[in-house]
Amino acid sequence: MRNILLISFVLLLNPLNVFSIEPDEILSDSKLENRARNLSKGIRCLVCQNQSIDDSDSELAKDLRKIIRIKIVEGKKDKEINDFLVEKYGNFILMKPPFYSETFLLWSSPFIIVFIGFIIIFFSLKKTRSEN
């Protein structure tokens, strides 16, 4: 009886993760299933956008989880599976997209803007002090 209460309590605390992965998706080998879960936590659901496919209930997320499990059973490595998904859907599918030299300006622009703002404030304060 105590175990049932404990399981019920855990299910109530985290309902999204409980219902996201369906029983027919789970691999029988626990090591392969752990690999699949770890991979799916790093893949963004293109429908939900702010959730990983591990947390999402969308049909696309279910299909992507199945694809990941099929590729794992085929013997593909994690990098090969990620590369396949990036090739098919682009870098946006990764929860942590890589940093490329082509996107340097995009990633650094907030810092550049703040730096320029500090320079403007510094010279404005210097000018007002010299006028007084």
**Domain 2-98 sits in CATH 1.10.8.640:** yes
Q: How far apart are CA 29 and CA 91, in angstroms?
A: 29
Strand, coil or helix: 60: helix
Q: Is the pLDDT of residue 23 over 90?
A: no
Q: How far apart are CA 2 and CA 21, in angstroms?
A: 26
- Tell me what the mean pLDDT of segment 9-35 comes to: 65
**Phi, psi at 94, each rounded to 5°:** -85, 135
- What are the distances in angstroms from CA 79 to CA 35, 76, 128? 12, 8, 57
Q: Per residue in 62-102, pLDDT tens?
A: 999 999 999 999 999 999 999 999 999 998 899 988 878 87
> How many whole angstroms from its chain centre is CA 22?
20
Q: Per residue in 36-56, pLDDT tens?
A: 899 999 999 999 888 999 888
What is the dihedral sign for C-alpha 93, 98, 103, 108? positive
Range of lowest pLDDT (15-29, 77-91, 103-117): 15-29
Model-level pTM? 0.63
Domain residue extents for the chain: 2-98, 101-132
The pLDDT assigned to 19 comes to 45
The pLDDT assigned to 82 comes to 94
